[in-house]
Amino acid sequence: MARQRTNDILAIVRAVYQELTGRPVARNCRERTECCQFQLTGRTPHLTKGEALLAAKAFRATGRRELADAADGICPLLNRLTGRCLIYVDRPFACRTHFCAAAGGPYSRHEVIDLIRRLEDLDVLLQGDGPRKLFPAVSAALDELR
């Protein structure tokens, strides 16, 4: 993928995240990372193609090359040594809206539906397959960035 095109895509996704940050919806994430343990929550974040490209780019920026799926249901982007998200600044939309109960609970869909639609529209533009589970979505994006 040409560098300028990639940068344009990442800028669109970041603009959506930025707008979300500005919404007056009171939540207080303390990085407890409960939501990063999918076997506990029963939920796995789904990413549109633009989000996956941004997550893949952020993952590469950590110096890592390969993403390994975890058999124990913990997010492959969680650093097990530090207990922190490897890509927190560029974490996917779902990670920004599905808060645990301690942080105030998840956003209602209607609070962010316009932003979801923007990510989905970008997905269509990029000929994505719609929102996909985190591991296959980011793995495919890593291949595309090669």
Examine residue 91 and tell whether it contacts ligand SF4 (CB under 6 A).
Answer: yes
Taking the C-alpha atoms of residue 119 and residue 111, their distance in angstroms, rounded to an integer, is: 15
In the bound state with ligand SF4, the residue whose beta carbon lies nearer, of 4 and 20, is 20
Examine residue 103 and tell whether it contacts ligand SF4 (CB under 6 A).
Answer: no
Piece of the chain touching ligand SF4 by CB under 6 A; list 9-17, 62-70, 72-80, 101-109: 72-80
Examine residue 75 and tell whether it contacts ligand SF4 (CB under 6 A).
Answer: yes
CB of 102 to ligand SF4, least distance (A): 15
The residues in 26-65 that bind ligand SF4, with binding defined as CB under 6 A, are: 33, 35-36, 45
3-state class (DSSP) for residue 30: coil
In the bound state with ligand SF4, the residue whose beta carbon lies nearer, of 2 and 66, is 66
Q: Among 13, 16, 95, 140, which residue interacts with ligand SF4 (rule: CB under 6 A)? A: 95
In the bound state with ligand SF4, the residue whose beta carbon lies nearer, of 95 and 112, is 95
Taking the C-alpha atoms of residue 71 and residue 30, their distance in angstroms, rounded to an integer, is: 26
Give the ranges where 22-133 is alpha helix by DSSP (H): 38-41, 49-61, 93-97, 109-125
Closest-CA residue to 59 (of 142, 146, 135, 144): 142
Q: Among 20, 78, 103, 116, which residue interacts with ligand SF4 (rule: CB under 6 A)? A: 78
Q: CB within 8 A of 70, min separation 6: which ones?
A: 76
Query: DSSP state, 74?
Result: B
Taking the C-alpha atoms of residue 76 and residue 104, their distance in angstroms, rounded to an integer, is: 25
User: What does the binding site for ligand SF4 look like in residue numbers (CB under 6 A)?
Assistant: 33, 35-36, 45, 75, 77-78, 85, 87, 91-92, 95
